[in-house]
Chain A
Amino acid sequence: GEEVAQTPKHLVRGEGQKAKLYCAPIKGHSYVFWYQQVLKNEFKFLISFQNENVFDETGMPKERFSAKCLPNSPCSLEIQATKLEDSAVYFCASSQGTLGGQPQHFGDGTRLSIL
């Protein structure tokens, strides 16, 4: 598609439950990025993929968070045993090519609320 599509728009989970977020990048884009936005303004990089391969996972919490980008499927970000501090908006972005100046195009985000 022409836009990054993120689903669901809003996800509510009880503490300790699992949460799974999905992202369909723009067709033809090779790179996918996940960011976490806590408290409205602070964006934190989580992980990036080049096609189905993890490109940079330096921002991923070591426990509970995992992500995949499989061929012919939306990318996913999964949080096991959610905690209150996982409440945030999770943004997915995609970009094409390998040039550093290629901009990232963002989806609408998924608002995760942990109760």
Chain B
Amino acid sequence: AQSVSQHNHHVILSEAASLELGCNYSYGGTVNLFWYVQYPGQHLQLLLKYFSGDPLVKGIKGFEAEFIKSKFSFNLRKPSVQWSDTAEYFCAVNAPLRAGNNRKLIWGLGTSLAVNP
């Protein structure tokens, strides 16, 4: 069965520190990869996605992620975090069901990021 692993459950950083959150998935076929963020009291928002093409994907708010197919990884990065980045971060993968059709998401367990001012 497909699965998504997020290595860090809780991360605490100071402002201006660099961030990298790990995400690995298990599936050998074509995948689409997503990072969602959930700010306190808010709904899930899409940070970025990888569908095809350039494996280095840039998202909103200065976030980026790199798809490394050989490592089945899609790590999220930000060079310099801010206090406002405090949130839950979820990695998700499209589980292929039927080619060309929209598919359910398989989720990692999330990483709780706290940025200290």
A residues engaging B (CB < 8 A)?
A: 4, 30-31, 33, 35, 40-43, 45, 48, 50, 55-56, 58-59, 91, 93, 95, 97-109
The answer to whether A103 and B49 have CB atoms under 8 Å apart is yes
Decide: A41 and B109 in contact? CB cutoff 8 A.
Answer: yes
B102 and A100 form a contact (CB under 8 A): yes
B interface list, Cβ under 8 A from A = 30, 32, 34, 36, 42-46, 49, 51-52, 88, 90, 92, 94, 96-97, 100-107, 109-110
Q: List 22 A-B contacts (CB under 8 A).
A: A30-B102, A35-B105, A40-B110, A41-B110, A42-B109, A43-B90, A43-B107, A48-B102, A55-B101, A56-B104, A59-B104, A91-B44, A97-B102, A98-B101, A100-B96, A100-B103, A101-B32, A101-B52, A101-B94, A103-B46, A104-B105, A107-B43
- The 8 lowest CB-CB distance pairs between A and B, nearest first, are A101-B51, A43-B107, A106-B44, A41-B110, A45-B104, A108-B43, A103-B46, A41-B109
Chain B interface mostly: loop
